[in-house]
C-alpha cells in the first residue's frame, strides 16, 4: 500500500512505530559500543600494565629470565608473548603460537614506532596484540579476544531481538493510541459528513480538551454557528423577497390595470369631449406618478445591506434640519417645531434622508390643519410626534409592514411603503424604529441609531 493511500491513523501509527524503532536502534548501538569498549578496554589495560613492567628492560635478559607479569588484579600475564630482535631473530616465546612479524611490528623493532596495538588472527584465534619496542628488538604481548567476541555476539543477538520486539510492540500499541488520539478528528469528520448529507447546521462537536484538536473542534463549531446564522439570514431574505414579489404583484395590479384602462379609453374614443379627455389624461399622469412612487419604494425595500465603505460621518442635526425645511415647504398647512441637539452619526446620507422625509411626510399627512409636528433630536435618538388621531390598537403592530394601510390611512393617498422603507433603512444602519401612541393623542415615532454621538462644546 502506498503511503498516500493510507489513512491518517495508519500513517500516525507507522510514524510512531518507526520512531520507536529508530530510538531502539540508536540505544542498542550505543549500548553495544559502550560494552565493547569496556571489555576491550580491560584487555588493553592489562596489556599496558604488563608492558609497563617490561619497559626499560634488556631484550636478551628478558629472553633468559622470562617476561615479568603484572598482578592478577591488573590482569595477570599475557597468554602469549614473543621476543624478536631487530634483525628478525626469535629471542624467546611462550610457545604454541607464532605471533606475526610484519611491517608494523618491524617498525616498532627498528625504533620507528614506540608501540603498536592491533587485532590479529592466528590459527583461528582472535588476539589483541601489543608490540613494545626495546633496545635491539621488540616484545609482543597477545591476549585472546574469543571470549569477548562470544559475549559481543550474544549481545548483538539480544539487542536485535529487543529492537524487533520493541518495534513490534510499538506497532501494536500505536494503532489503538493513534485511534484514541485521532478520535476527536474522526468526530469532526463525522459531523462534517453528517452536515453535508443532511444539511443540518445544528450539529455541534463536544470540545474535550484545550489542545490543538480541541481548538479545531471549537473553530469548527464557530464555523457552524456562522453558517447557521448566514443560512437563517439567507432564508429570511429569500422569504422576504418572495413576500415582496407577491405583495408587489398584488399592489401593482391595480394602478397598472387602471392605467391601461384609461389608455384604452383614449385610443378607442378619439372623439371624446375635451373635458373628458383632459380628465382621463390627468388620471393617467396621477396613476403614472403613483406607479413610479410604488416602484421606487419596492426598489428601496429590495436594496441589499450596504457595505461599510458607503457609510460616512455626518451631522445628523443638519440632515434633520434639511428634512424639516423640505417638510415645511411640502406641507404648509402643518407647523413643524424642531428641537435639534448637535449630534453626529455614522450613516449613508441619501438613505437616512429618505427615511427622515418619509417619517415627516407621514406625520404631516396624519396631522389636522394647523396642528404641530414636534421633532426632537438628541444623543438618545430622533423622536417625531404628530397630534392626529393616533394609531388604532389593532394597527399598531403592523404600521411598518409593507403595503399596510391602517384604519386612519385608508382614505388618504399613499402606497403603504413609506414607514416600511423607514424601518428597512434604519435596520440596515443597525438601529430600531418604533411607533407608539401619546397619552394625550397623536402618534410618536422613535428612531434609535447606535452610532449617534453628541457634539460637546469643547469638541471640534
DSSP string, 383-408: EEE--SS---TTTGGGTTSTT---TT
The tens digit of pLDDT for each residue in 394-453 reads 888 888 877 666 655 544 555 567 788 888 888 888 899 998 998 888 899 999 998 888
Instruction: Give exposure, 436-446, as e/b (b: 16+ Cβ within 10 Å).
Output: eeeeeebbbbb
Contact 404, 416 (CB under 8 A): yes
Spell out the residues 6+ positions from residue 160 whose beta carbon is closer than 8 angstroms to its own: 28
Can you list the residues of the chain whose pLDDT is less than 70?
A: 1-9, 56-66, 95, 178, 181-182, 185, 201, 205-209, 212-213, 237, 240-255, 286-287, 289-291, 293-309, 403-416, 457-460
Length of the chain: 460
Model pTM score: 0.48
Grid cell in block for residue 77? 600475564
CB 59 within 8 A of CB 137: yes
Specify the DSSP element, H or E, that contains 167.
Answer: helix 146-181
Rounded Cα distance between 414 and 200, Å, is 44
pLDDT in tens, 232-256: 777 776 776 666 666 556 556 656 7
Distances (CA, A) of 97 to 81, 144, 186: 9, 11, 72
Q: CA torsion, points 15, 18, 20, 24, in degrees to nearest 10? A: -160
Q: How far apart are CA 7 and CA 392, in angstroms?
A: 68
In this structure, what C-alpha cell is assigned to residue 262?
384609461
Supply the pLDDT for residue 8. 67
pLDDT score recorded for residue 411: 47
Which pLDDT does position 322 carry in this prediction? 92
Q: What is the pLDDT of residue 134?
A: 84
Phi, psi at residue 116, to the nearest 5°? -155, 130
pLDDT of residue 373: 92
Closest CA relative to residue 359, chosen from 383, 378, 343, 337 = 383
At 293, list the grid cell: 412612487
pLDDT tens-digit map of 358-403? 899 888 888 888 889 999 999 989 999 998 888 888 888 888 877 6
Instruction: Work out whether strand 372-378 and strand 335-340 pair parallel, antiparallel, or are unpaired.
Output: parallel
Q: What is the DSSP letter of 91?
A: E
User: Helix H segments across 55-66?
Assistant: 59-65
Q: What is the mean pLDDT of the chain?
A: 79
Provide the pLDDT for residue 14. 80
Q: Are 313 and 346 in contact (CB under 8 A)?
A: yes
Q: Is 430 left (phi over 0), alpha (psi -120 to 50) or beta?
A: left
Bridge partner residues of 144 (DSSP): 127
pLDDT of residue 67: 73
201 burial via Cβ count (<10 Å: 0-12, 13-18, 19+): middle
Beta-bridge partners for 137: 85, 134
At 105 the pLDDT is 86
What is the Cα–Cα distance from 46 to 128, expressed in whole angstroms? Answer: 11
Query: DSSP strand E in 94-207: where?
Result: 115-122, 125-134, 137-144
* Distance between CA atoms of residues 73 and 86, nearest Å: 32
Query: Cα 295 to chain center, whole Å?
Result: 45
Q: Which domains does the chain have, with CATH numbers?
A: 3-155 (3.30.450), 214-301 (1.10.287.130), 308-454 (3.30.565.10)
pLDDT (0 to 100) of residue 158: 92
Query: How far, in whole angstroms, is CA 46 from its chain's centroid?
Result: 67
Helix count (H) and strand count (E) of the chain?
Answer: 10, 13
Cell, residue 460: 471640534
Amino acid at each position: 500500500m502506498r503511503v498516500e493511500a493510507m489513512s491518517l491513523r495508519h500513517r500516525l501509527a507507522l510514524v510512531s512505530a518507526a520512531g520507536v524503532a529508530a530510538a531502539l536502534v540508536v540505544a542498542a548501538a550505543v549500548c553495544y559500543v559502550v560494552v565493547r569498549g569496556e571489555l576491550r578496554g580491560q584487555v588493553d589495560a592489562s596489556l599496558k600494565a604488563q608492558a609497563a613492567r617490561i619497559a626499560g628492560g634488556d631484550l636478551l635478559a628478558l629472553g633468559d629470565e622470562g617476561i615479568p607479569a603484572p598482578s592478577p588484579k591488573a590482569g595477570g600475564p599475557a597468554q602469549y608473548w614473543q621476543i624478536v630482535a631487530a634483525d628478525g631473530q626469535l629471542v624467546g616465546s611462550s610457545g604454541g603460537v607464532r605471533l606475526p612479524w610484519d611491517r608494523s611490528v618491524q617498525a616498532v623493532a627498528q625504533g620507528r614506532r614506540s608501540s603498536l596495538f592491533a587485532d590479529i588472527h592466528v590459527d583461528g584465534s582472535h588476539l589483541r596484540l601489543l608490540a613494545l619496542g626495546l633496545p635491539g628488538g621488540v616484545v609482543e604481548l597477545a591476549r585472546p579476544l574469543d571470549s569477548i567476541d562470544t559475549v559481543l555476539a550474544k549481545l548483538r543477538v539480544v539487542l536485535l531481538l529487543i529492537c524487533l520486539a520493541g518495534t513490534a510492540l510499538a506497532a501494536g500499541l500505536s494503532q489503538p493510541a493513534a485511534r484514541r488520539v485521532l478520535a476527536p478528528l474522526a468526530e469532526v469528520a463525522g459531523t462534517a459528513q453528517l452536515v453535508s448529507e443532511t444539511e443540518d447546521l445544528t450539529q455541534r462537536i463536544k470540545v474535550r480538551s484545550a489542545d490543538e484538536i480541541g481548538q479545531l473542534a471549537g473553530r469548527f463549531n464557530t464555523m457552524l454557528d456562522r453558517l447557521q446564522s448566514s443560512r437563517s439570514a439567507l432564508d429570511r431574505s429569500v422569504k422576504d423577497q418572495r413576500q415582496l414579489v407577491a405583495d408587489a404583484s398584488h399592489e401593482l395590479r391595480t394602478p397598472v390595470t387602471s392605467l391601461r384602462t384609461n389608455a384604452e379609453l383614449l385610443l378607442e374614443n378619439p372623439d371624446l369631449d375635451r373635458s373628458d379627455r383632459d380628465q382621463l389624461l390627468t388620471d393617467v399622469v396621477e396613476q403614472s406618478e403613483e406607479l413610479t412612487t410604488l416602484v421606487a419604494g419596492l426598489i428601496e425595500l429590495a436594496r441589499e445591506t450596504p457595505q461599510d465603505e458607503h457609510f460616512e460621518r455626518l451631522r445628523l442635526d443638519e440632515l434633520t434640519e434639511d428634512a424639516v425645511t423640505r417638510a415645511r415647504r411640502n406641507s404648509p398647512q402643518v407647523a413643524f417645531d424642531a428641537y435639534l441637539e448637535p449630534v453626529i452619526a455614522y450613516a449613508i446620507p441619501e438613505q437616512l434622508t429618505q427615511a427622515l422625509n418619509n417619517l415627516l411626510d407621514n406625520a404631516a399627512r396624519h396631522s389636522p390643519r394647523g396642528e404641530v409636528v414636534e421633532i426632537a433630536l438628541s444623543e438618545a435618538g430622533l423622536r417625531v410626534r404628530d397630534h392626529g388621531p393616533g394609531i388604532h390598537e389593532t394597527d399598531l403592530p403592523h404600521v411598518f409592514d409593507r403595503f399596510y394601510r391602517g384604519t386612519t390611512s385608508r382614505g388618504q393617498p399613499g402606497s403603504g411603503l413609506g414607514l416600511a422603507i423607514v424601518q428597512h433603512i434604519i435596520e440596515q444602519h443597525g438601529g430600531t424604529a418604533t411607533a407608539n401612541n401619546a397619552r394625550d393623542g397623536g402618534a410618536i415615532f422613535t428612531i434609535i441609531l447606535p452610532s449617534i454621538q453628541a457634539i460637546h462644546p469643547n469638541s471640534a
